[in-house]
Structure 1
Amino acid sequence: MNLDFSQIVPWIPFMLEGIWVTLKFVSVCIVVGFFLGTLLALCKIANIRILKAIADVYTSIFRGTPLILQLMIIYFAIPQLTGYDISPFLSAIAAFGLNSAAYVSEIIRAGIQAVDKGQTEAAEALGVPYKPMMLQIILPQALKNILPALMNEFITLTKESAIVSTIGYLDLMRRAQVVGSELYRQFEPLLFAGLIYWVMVYVLTQAGKVVERRLQYND
């Protein structure tokens, strides 16, 4: 086996910078996906047909097409139509945030519908308006039930973030490719990047378990 990890040692700081670059855009995507997904979920359970139809069509499109295709359309195709270039960072946020929202909306919708209907009936009987009822009574209970599914979505988003390397965004994956091209050795930098991704996912998994245990303890 022709392996020599000593050659990537000088490049380790360069690759480690990719962790913060990756986490920066992934964190923004998680926030965008969560809030947009919550809004879509509320539209899906609303009694207004047009809102429900829009949310269903949105979910169908973003769940039914590959994420890399959505990224390519935003980064390459939209500038062709508008004449304005979109930076890799904004393209990544738009593609991953919009895609994540589609999946998060289904998770939250299922969580809301799993809450005992008696909670809604009791709130309506007390004259609680719809918006405060959802924000203060229903959603907090739903979030406790769907936390594992949400954490799984965020972990998946972190792993799939490597796709942004295809548009030149200098995330962890792209930096590993750069090092491989400079050294004419691909295995060592890619293996090192894989180890870092594994550590990030492991930390997220453990953090999710801690939050889940605290929520159960508070119950």
Structure 2
Amino acid sequence: MSQDGGPGAAPATKARPEAIKAVPVRHYGRWIGAAVVLGLLALLVLAFANADIDWGVVGSRLFDEAFLSGTWNTLWVTVLAMLLGVVLGMVLAVMRMSANPVLSGVAWLYIWFFRGTPVLVQIFLWFNLSIIFETIDLGPIYKNEMNDVMTPFVAALLGLGLNEAAYMAEISRAGIQSVDTGQTEAAQALGMPGSKTMRRIVLPQAMRVIIPPTGNEFINMLKTSSLAYAIGFNELFLASRNFGSRTLAVMEALLMATVWYLVLTTVFSIFQYYIERYFQRGSSRQMPDTPLQRVRKHLTTFRHDTGREAKG
């Protein structure tokens, strides 16, 4: 019979270590910061609530025909100008990367001019084009007075769209250059023409880089379109100015215009999230959260933090 500790003895059972009692770190600075921010927001809301503003006018005239018309004109000129900027910007990006020095030089000169001058100056250049050109004559195709052609809408469209094309050219060029050149070389080795390579291989991958800044450019364009009020185009800002001048409710009119701008930018920001998710399919990177997923994540995190604080 073997003794304890002998060669045939069963190994002694080790006592299990006591479970670690983890105490979550209390982030007092976060709660203090949140309290300060909420206090400042409350003071700001209280100040506006007690200010000399007729909130009844803001609520009752928000859907006034003048504001609806101005909002529609703002949206319409923004969409058309952005389409012009995206298409022309893509062409300029391809020209900029061309081995032909003439195409590359012309694209560089275009980008240099339109990025180097203010949008408002460009809008006025187009609007006052009739000073130096009384008529537009394209021979048998088209002929008309410049004043009849260069309306405030057309001047705003050209000023915004051609300026945007310069920025979209650089964004598109960065997206195209982000695609591995080996894929282009492989397509050429298979006999695929350059146009088809660009359309089927390069651009679908480049869109992952192009889409995020393009969405930001669209939202910026939506706000920059307010500069067209200077030439009499009846967009949202001019509609609010006219409403304020007519009713003497200047601050109320500006607040209503602010509400409509926020509505438009919010809607298109949500669209931007879903478009980014669409073009990032198949990417190794994590897809961006949708707005609803972000709200749900923040609520879940807040509940967990509150629960830990309560248990602590």
TM-score when scaled to structure 2? Answer: 0.67
CA distance in 1 between counterparts of 2:193 and 2:281 reads 30
Please state whether the residue corresponding to 2:132 is helix, strand or coil. helix
In the alignment, the residues of structure 1 paired with residue 101 and residue 187 of structure 2 have an alpha-carbon distance, to the nearest angstrom, of 23
Aligned twin of 2:69: 17
User: For the residues of structure 1 that align with 2:278 and 2:203, how far apart are their CA atoms?
Assistant: 18
**Among candidates 126, 132, 152, match of residue 81 of structure 1:** 132
Between the aligned partners of 2:95 and 2:199, the Cα distance in structure 1 is 14
Aligned residues: 218
Unaligned runs of 5+ in 2: 1-50, 135-145, 284-312
Match of 2:273 in 1: 209
Instruction: Report the counterpart of residue 240 of structure 2 in structure 1.
Output: 176
Instruction: Measure the CA separation in 1 of the matches of 2:201 and 2:280.
Output: 17
Partner residue in 1 for 2:107: 55
Residue equivalent to 1:126: 190
- 2:67 is the alignment partner of 1:3: no
Mapping for residues 75-154 of structure 1, pairs under 5 Å: 75-76=127-128, 78-83=129-134, 84-85=146-147, 86-154=150-218
Describe the superposition over 1:4-56 as per-residue Cα deviations: whole angstroms up to 9, x where unpaired: 13345357232122111111111111111111000000001111111000000
TM-score (norm 1): 0.95
Q: Structure 1: which amino acid aligns with 2:132?
A: L
Higher relative CO (Cα under 8 Å, sequence separation at least 6) belongs to 1
Which residue matches 2:36? Answer: none
Residues 118 and 146 of structure 1: CA distance in aligned 2, closer, same or farther (over 3 Å): same
Larger proportion of helix: 1
Name the residue aligned to 1:41.
93
Partner of 1:31: 83
Report the alpha carbon displacement of residue 3 of structure 1 after superposing the two structures with TM. Answer: 1.4
Shift of 1:218: 5.1
Asked if 1 retains the 8 angstrom alpha-carbon contact of 2:84 and 2:165, the reply is: yes
Output the CA distance in 1 between the equivalents of 2:124 and 2:191. Answer: 48
The amino acid of 2:98's aligned partner reads: A
Question: CA offsets, 1:67-89, max 9 Å, x none?
Answer: 0000011102x110111211011
The answer for the alignment partner of 1:191 in structure 2 is 255
**Cα deviation code 1:153-205 (max 9, x no counterpart):** 11111110111111111111110000011012311101110111011111111
Give, in whole Å, the separation in 2 of the partners of 1:38 and 1:196. 31
Q: Write the letter of the residue equivalent to 1:153.
A: E
Q: After TM superposition, what 4+ stretches of structure 1 lie above 6 angstroms from structure 2? A: none
Q: Distance in 2 between matches of 1:98 and 1:10?
A: 35
Alpha-carbon separation, structure 2, partners of 1:201 and 1:17: 17
* Amino acid paired to 2:55: F
The CA distance in 2 between the partners of 1:5 and 1:39, in whole Å, is 49
For 2:94 and 2:154, locate their aligned partners in 1 and report how far apart those are by CA, in whole Å.
Answer: 26
For residue 227 of structure 2, the aligned residue among 118, 139, 163 is 163
User: Please, which runs of 5 or more residues in structure 1 have no aligned partner?
Assistant: none
